[in-house]
Structure 1
Amino acid sequence: MACERGTLMAFLLLTTFVLLVGMVCAFVTNQRTHEQTGPSVQAVPETLLSLQSLVSDIPEELQTVADQFSLPQNQVLEDLDGVGERLGNLIHSQLKSKVYLLLASVHSLGQALQVSMDHLRALNATTKELQEGQQHLEPAVRDHRERLLALLQDPQCQGNCTGTLSQVHALELGADFSQVPHLDDALYRLKDVPETNFSSMVQEENSTFNNLPLLIGLQTANAVKDLKKAVSGQPEGVRMLATGFPDLKATSRWSQTLGELEECSRPYLKDVQRYETYRWIVGCVLCSMVLLVVVCNLLGLSLGTWGLSAREDPSHSEAKGEAGARFLMLSVGFSFLFAGPLILLVFATFLVGGNVQTLVCQSWERGELYEFVDTPGNLPPSMNLSHLLGLKKNISVLVAYQQCREGAALWKVLQLNDSYDLEKHLDISQYATKMQQELKGFNVEIKDLDLLSPEARQDLEALQSSGIEKINYHDFFVQIQKPVVKTDMQQLSQDLERLAQAQGNSMLGQQLQEAAQGLRNLYHEKVVPQQNLIAKLNLNARALESAAPNLQLETTALLGNITVLRGELPVFINHIMENASRCFMTRELGYFSQYVAWVREEVTQRIATCQPLSGALDNGHVILCDMMADPWNAFWFCLGWCTFFLIPSIIFAVKTSKYFRPIRKRLSSTSSEETQLFHIPRVTSLKL
């Protein structure tokens, strides 16, 4: 009997402990469910707002991308500032070697022309002076010769009269400058040459050439203005990038729908929180009921055990044992009373939580929910994703979700390349063509750069046709090599003086002395100036002889080079302008090409990434399953656990309670027990 009693008490204690553990778990899960409901409910509008922000930001992001067209645009406009002067510097650097060389040749030739003209005029003037001096010298020499011949042939002449007489016979002019070429024709052709100050002209042309960048900048100012006007416009496709997006209307509609859904969800979410509070209270009450059963079992076991250990006379009535038995029967009554509500609550929570976990959470986690949505016929056509977004192709929700989790953009997920021609919007060929047409207006004419003024050209052409290189300078040198007078007049004067001293006739001696003095005076007065003029004539003639041929060649070459350069200059400048324009267009269009590539990458890979959408779905799974369904299922499981163990608790409590009653009462009930092997005591038979 003691063994049976101990076994029943042990089982009842174990059952009570299991009920206690289940009750504690039920309390904990009930509280956790209540605590998780608040953040879960608050996360719903936040998720909806994040989705609304994702949807509503698409037009703004597209417009921002379109507005970034101003970056390459401003760069091109900045490059256009001063482009005329840069072109001028380029042309200047390409031409300066040729132009500076020609200007140096012009300057050198101008100086040579001036020197040659000075020599030519000096040669002509000297020739005329020599001819004039020769006309005055010839009669004087002739008079002196005749007079000396008369004196020396006088019979009274003593001394070396015969030797001196031979010198007097040679007293005549040697050089005849009337035989030199005439320079009047050449001087007539070179009249007033040079009319131009070649040094000033070269400085002026050099200044004009160095100011070429400024000149070209002024010439291209209007063309640059027109080109800036063309660049300032925005291509139609880029401008319509955002408004032409295929899902723009659907985006606005979805954004509005999400906003309305967020507003409408708040009252329902408040109701959810209120009903959750009611559920939490009911759960706490039912857990308290289970706790009451556990307390009654523990009190019954404690008092019953205390009563058994203190009993001395088995027939003695013990209040402690009786109280323990009554507490056990009280727990039995509470178990019967609370079993119904517990079973109903467990069934209700199991029905909701189990179905949510099985039908929603597990299929959601395995992706079966997305496959169900993708299967045609499971949802009404009006709820089809492609229909809602206005797309031409059907979109798989499962594939879209997987792509969104990988961070793909809506462009890839929704396959917008079939319904939106992005390349058409990014086509800037017409924009580039307009720029190229305006760039063709960069025409440059260098009219002010003559390199050679008309007057200077006339001077050089006059020199070219003057024929100074054809003058027979040898005739000048022939006469220059001849003496002015064939006889050495100084030597003859000295011989006459010695001869005068040797004369016995004083009158003849006096006459010879006077003749010698007159001859000496003639030499100093007229022969010496003639000799000086001959030296000057020699200098000028030799200078012209050496300079004239080279001067003609240089003049011909210079005029030819200038003519060629003047003819090639427009072609050369146009070639430079074409190359510069081509390079400029290549560089500037490179900016726009970079922009187009960037826009293509942004639109197709970065803009409107749908990762927040997959994140929202994952958050929904976490909210519904992890934060609500899991604690909910744990709660009903623990509560069901407690409900299930109420049955053995009732059985063990009834059987154990009879061992805690006094023996008298157990004997009084023997007769009735003999007719009935076992029956469960009713609560109504207890006398509390």
Structure 2
Amino acid sequence: MARTLSFLLLLLGLCGNSVSGGPPSSTNTSGDLNYELPTANYETQGSYKPGSIGILFRMVRIFLHMVQPNDFPEDILAKVIQKSFEPSINFDKSENIILALKVLNYEIGIVIYALLGLLFVILMPVVGYFFCMCRCCNRCGGKMHQRQKENGPFQRKCFAISLLVICIIMSFGIFCGFVANHSVRTRIKRTRILANSNFKDLRTLLNQTPEQIQFILAQYNTTKDKAFSDLNSIHSLLGGGIHERLRPNVTPVLDEIKSMVTVIKETKKALESTKSSLQNLRDTSAQLSSNLTNVKTSIQRSLRDPTCSVHPASETCNSIRTSLSQLDSNLDVNQLPPVDTELDNVNNVLRTDLGGLVQKGYQAFNDIPERVQHQTKNIVADVKGVLNSIGPRVNRVTQQIPIESTLSKFAVYINKTESHIHRNLHSLEEYDSYWWLGGLIICFLLTLIVTFYYLGLLCGVCGYDRDATPTRRGCVSHTGGVFLMVGVGLSFLFCWLLMIIVIVTFVIGTNVEKLICEPYASTKFFQVLDTPYLFNDNWQYYLSGIIFNKSDIRLTFGQVYSDCKNNRGVYATLHLENRFNISKHLNINEHTENINHEFENLNINLNIVLLDKAGRANLQNFAVCGIDRINYATYLSQTGKHPAKVNLLSFAYDLETKANHLPPGTLRQSLKREAEIIKMIHRQQVVPMEQSLGTLRDSIKTLQPISNGLVDRIARILTSLDSAQDFVTNNIASVINDEIRKYVRTIVGHFEQYLLWVDFSVREKMVSCKPVATALDSAVNVLLCGYVISPLNLFWFGIGKATVFSLPALIFAVKLAKYYRRMDSEDVYDDVETIPMKNMENGNNGYHKDHLYGIHNPVMTSPLPR
């Protein structure tokens, strides 16, 4: 225990002047910086797994719970330790008596079992001595005579079965003894490997500590590089932030004005197309009307031919004459007003480059990032200088920690401890050899006793002859009885000695298991060590007293062990902020205030004009260009008509058909010529007019939706433009300030996260004391309890069981030997004829209570063993 405490104290010294930290915080910065302190991989396992033998250990623990069902005596053990560490404290006699009674009450189960064992030790040789003396005096069954009884065969079978069952129970106990003895042998050999593994982990801890410190310092450069990258990207971070804040108000207006430029150009194109189509229609409409009039006159002249007066040609001529009224123009182009004024107005609007003005607005808005970068060059340089100054300050704080010297002292102590352990390991292995040899001898003695019992049963059962009289039993049966008596003699000789060993190991193993192993596993043992004023009547908490010389700081063994077990850093585990507070030396506010001070001088001026007065006047002129006053209904009505009243092509084919019904002659030929002229008019004039009408109709359909609500639309655009310009003018200063604060928080956030991570890493992660807890687990839980006490308890449990059951075994063996050994005398009867032959055949030797006459003593050639 003293070595463990000193080991912990040296580890405290390792970090006694170390850095401290605060509560855990996120290690992921706003710039996606991910810090992860490198951790060591330790090879020692603090837990102990006994394997398949564990079921035997659990069986022993169940028995121990029956022997010692009392709870862990924390108060009793605390008083005993306090009395041991503070002999100056005088306990009066009554307190000593009360303490002794409490100890006795706790140990009552162990005491009772130990007293029973001592009774066995005392009575076994005494009984054996008198038993031997009585047997030598032909008493206590020593006389080689067996009385014949009716239930003799039943008794023999019962004795044999009982002895066999007891021998099996003893064999199991001996098996447990062999297993426990072998377990101690094999596990002690692993002690050297376990010790080397623990010392390797401790050296890994020592070697990793400087690496962790260097890693922490190196992460400052990573943080600084990220901050420098953000400073170099101020145009995208700060300028881009301002740009994004203004975008929802500015971009829609500029996009709408830009679309209006396209609308103006489309309007001009549509008006030009309308003007051109109107001109073409006026020219072709007049020509079409003239040509149709000429054709109609020519056909009327041809119909004056005499042929038309003769039936049936007269009917055809009348039909042709009637249809001539359809040959006329269907358009009244004069109803379509010209668009020259509107076109001139739009051309005047286009003389101002509205698209260029809008592009200037876009450029003024999109140049915000570059203008921000240009205006912040000096501030960025000053901030970089401040950031460069933080690194040396962090380095100076770490230089104040005397880690190298403390590590060297700790390494020296580890080397000395390792040398001491390795020197003692030879002695431990030597003692283990003695223990193993002694345990082997004990197990073999019990095995020898049980073997004689097994041989006696085997020979007795196999060699027993029911027809043979007690004086005429066979050699095999007699040998079986002799083996049983040899086993009895060995039991009297050795079992009391074995019981002494069982008592000693029982008392030691049980108390260590109940007072150390079980409370250590449940951490109740640490609660005893954490009892106030236990080791020093002036210190409430012993650890805080020896570390800080302030016993009022709540630092307990249980808390230290639990934190170390959970791989927590020594700083937080041992509350070292009471000696060196890293939060004071790595003051986050002190560093961030310097950065904020530099950014306070940041002044950004952005003058953004979305559209100048010329552009606004241009939009207003387009609104009054006149396209909204065009009579679109008339245009659509006229353009929906056919150039002629009838389809000239159909009319020409119909005229040819009718001409073919006339008799051959001049009239038929004349009408056919006129039909061809009509077809030519259709191709050369009507088809181009139809195309012009379609073009005119499309132009009108383009202009009509543009003109609908044009004034209101431009008014809304100008209103939106004024609103956006007012927002930019009035709010740009607050937007810039907000984005500057956000940008500063981003830069400062890197270092806040870094310093918080340093604080957290030093407190919770750096110099993890898990190897210390593992070493303590290896010493107590693995080596003491797992390698020594558990097999020791299994050993005395098995040997004790075999030794205790040797007592009923020898009783049954003595009883059973009478039925197997050859007797010197036997019962005889005066009237042999009265003896039923059936009984003779069944091996009862003619016994009957009414015919017992005397004893026959045959002459023995050699004495039989008793």
**Which of 567, 590, 602 is the aligned partner of 2:749?**
590
The answer to whether the aligner puts 1:664 opposite 2:820 as a matched pair is no
Whether contact under 8 Å (1:349, 1:632) holds in the other structure is yes
Question: Does 2:187 match 1:36?
Answer: yes
Q: Which residue of 1 aligns with 2:75?
A: none
Which of 633, 637, 640 matches 2:793? 633
Alignment of 1:125-164 (within 5 A): none
Alignment CA distance shift 1:442-1:11 (3 Å): closer
Alignment partner of 1:266 out of 419, 422, 426: 422
1:332-375 per-position Cα deviation (integer Å, ceiling 9, x unaligned):
23223332542343234324322221221123234332122223
Tell me how far 1:639 sits from its aligned partner.
Answer: 0.6
| 1:49-77 CA distance string (max 9 Å, x none) | 43454466445434422331112212233
Provide the C-alpha distance between the structure 1 equivalents of 2:165 and 2:242, rounded to a whole number of angstroms: 107
Moved more, 588-597 or 221-230: 221-230
Q: Which amino acid aligns with 1:656?
A: L
Provide the C-alpha distance between the structure 2 equivalents of 1:397 and 1:246, rounded to a whole number of angstroms: 26
Question: Of 200, 210, 215, which aligns to 1:64?
Answer: 215
Report what 2:357 is aligned to: none
CA–CA distance in 2 between the matches of 1:413 and 1:66?
Answer: 23
Q: Distance in 2 between matches of 1:18 and 1:301?
A: 15
| Partner AA of 2:179 in structure 1 | V
Change (3 A) 1:628 1:585: same
Work out the percentage of aligned pairs sharing the same amino acid. Answer: 27
Q: Could you say which residue in structure 1 is the equivalent of 2:557?
A: 397
Counterpart among 521, 537, 544 of residue 386 in structure 1: 544
Return closer, same or farther for 1:215/1:590 CA change in 2, 3 Å cut-off: closer
Measure, in 1, the Cα distance between the counterparts of 2:548 and 2:504.
42
* Paired residues for 1:437-586 under 5 Å: 585-586=744-745
Shift of 1:296: 0.9
User: Which residue of the partner structure matches residue 474 of structure 2?
Assistant: 318
Matched, 1:19 2:170: yes
RMSD (CA atoms): 4.9
- Would the alpha carbon gap of residues 592 and 330 (structure 1) be closer, same or farther in structure 2, given more than 3 Å must change? same
Which is greater in Rg?
1
Structure with the largest fraction of helix: 1
Secondary structure of the structure 1 residue equivalent to 2:482: helix
Residue 662 of structure 1, CA deviation = 2.0
CA contact (8 A) 1:45 1:265 kept: no
Counterpart of 2:465 in 1: which secondary structure?
A: helix
The separation in 1 between residues aligned to 2:447 and 2:155, in whole angstroms, is: 27
SS of 1:375's partner is: coil
Which residue of structure 2 aligns with residue 352 of structure 1?
A: 508
Select 1:651's aligned residue among 811, 829, 846: 811
Is the 8 Å Cα contact of residues 227 and 435 (structure 1) preserved in structure 2? yes
Rate the CA distance shift 1:666–1:10 in 2: closer, same or farther, 3 A: farther
**Structure 1 position 651, deviation (Å):** 2.6
- Is 1:373 equivalent to 2:529 in the alignment? yes
Preserved CA contact (<8 Å) 2:470 2:825: no
Q: 1:602 to 1:215 in 2, by over 3 A?
A: closer
Report the residue type matching 2:803 in the other structure.
Answer: T
Q: Deviations over 1:301-351 (max 9, x none)?
A: 222233431653543363223322221222123223332542343234324
Residue 232 of structure 1 aligns with which residue? 388
**Residue in structure 2 matched with residue 342 of structure 1 by the alignment:** 498
Q: Does 1:7 align with 2:163?
A: no
1:54-109 CA distances to partner (integer Å, 9 max, x unpaired)?
Answer: 466445434422331112212233345587999999999x9xxxxxxxxxxxxxxx
More divergent stretch after superposition (376-385 vs 54-63): 376-385
How many residues were matched structurally?
436
Is 1:331 the counterpart of 2:487 in the alignment? yes
Q: 1:613 to 1:64 in 2, by over 3 A?
A: same
Contact 1:23 1:287 in 2 (8 A): yes
Question: How many Å apart are 1:419 and its aligned residue?
Answer: 2.9
Structure 1 pair 315/224, CA: closer, same or farther in 2 (3 Å)? closer
Q: How far off its partner does 1:640 sit? A: 0.8
Are the equivalent residues in 2 in contact too, given 1:246–1:420 (CA < 8 A)? no
Does residue 297 in structure 1 map to residue 453 in structure 2? Answer: yes
Q: Give the superposition deviation at 1:287.
A: 1.4
| Distance across 2 between alignment mates of 1:297 and 1:355 | 35
Question: Counterparts of 2:238 and 2:528 in 1: how far apart (Å)?
Answer: 69
- How far apart are the structure 2 equivalents of 1:88 and 1:606? 40
What is the distance in 1 between the residues matched to 2:183 and 2:767? 37
Pick from 197, 202, 207 the counterpart of residue 46 of structure 1: 197
- Written as runs of structure 1 = structure 2, the 5 A alignment for 1:92-103 is none
- SS of 1:68 mapped into structure 2: helix
* CA shift in 2, pair 1:416/1:88, >3 Å: closer
- 3-state SS in 2 of match to 1:309: coil
SS of 2:472's partner is: coil
Shift of 1:29: 2.8
The CA deviation at 1:412 is 3.5
Deviation at 1:273, TM superposition (A): 3.3
Specify the alignment match of 2:317 in structure 1: none
- Given the alignment, which residue of 260, 281, 285 partners 2:441? 285
Contact 2:484–2:813 (8 Å) recurs in 1: yes
Verify the 8 A CA contact 1:16 1:294 in the aligned structure 2: yes
SS in 2 for 1:663: coil
**Comparing 59-68 and 402-411, the one that deviates more:** 402-411
Task: Check 1:687–1:585 CA distance in 2 against 1; reply closer, same or farther (3 A cut).
Answer: same
Kindly indicate whether the alpha-carbon contact (under 8 Å) linking 2:230 and 2:237 is maintained by their aligned counterparts in 1. no
- Map 1:244-263; keep pairs closer than 5 Å: 244=400, 253-254=409-410, 256-263=412-419
Give 1:22 deviation, angstroms: 1.6
Q: Distance in 2 between matches of 1:321 and 1:373?
A: 65
- Residues 159 and 816, structure 2, Cα contact 8 Å, conserved in 1: yes
How far apart in 2 are the matches of 1:424 and 1:314? 101
CA distance in 1, matches of 2:237, 2:432: 78
Q: Which range moves more in the overlay, 580-589 or 17-26?
A: 580-589
Q: Does 1:415 align with 2:568?
A: no
CA contact (8 A) 1:250 1:389 kept: no
- The amino acid that maps onto 2:759 is R
Distance 1:318 1:436, change over 3 A: closer
Q: Which runs of 5+ in 1 are unaligned?
A: 95-210, 445-573, 668-684
C-alpha distance 15-686 of structure 1, shift in aligned 2 (>3 A):
farther
Task: Give the deviation of 1:250 after TM superposition.
Answer: 6.4
The letter of the residue matching 2:573 is V
State the 1:251 CA deviation: 6.6
Q: Once the two structures are superposed, what CA deviation does each residue of 1:524-581 show, in whole Å capped at 9, x if it has no partner?
A: xxxxxxxxxxxxxxxxxxxxxxxxxxxxxxxxxxxxxxxxxxxxxxxxxx99999998
Mapped contact 2:234–2:372 kept (Cα < 8 A): no
| Runs of 5+ unmatched residues, structure 2 | 1-148, 247-366, 605-732, 828-862
Partner Cα distance (2:208, 2:231) in 1: 36
Q: Secondary structure at the match of 1:20?
A: helix
Flag the 1:75–1:330 CA change in 2: closer, same or farther, 3 A. same
The amino acid of 1:593's aligned partner reads: E
Moved more, 604-613 or 14-23: 604-613
Q: CA deviation at 1:275?
A: 2.6
CA contact (8 A) 1:22 1:641 kept: yes
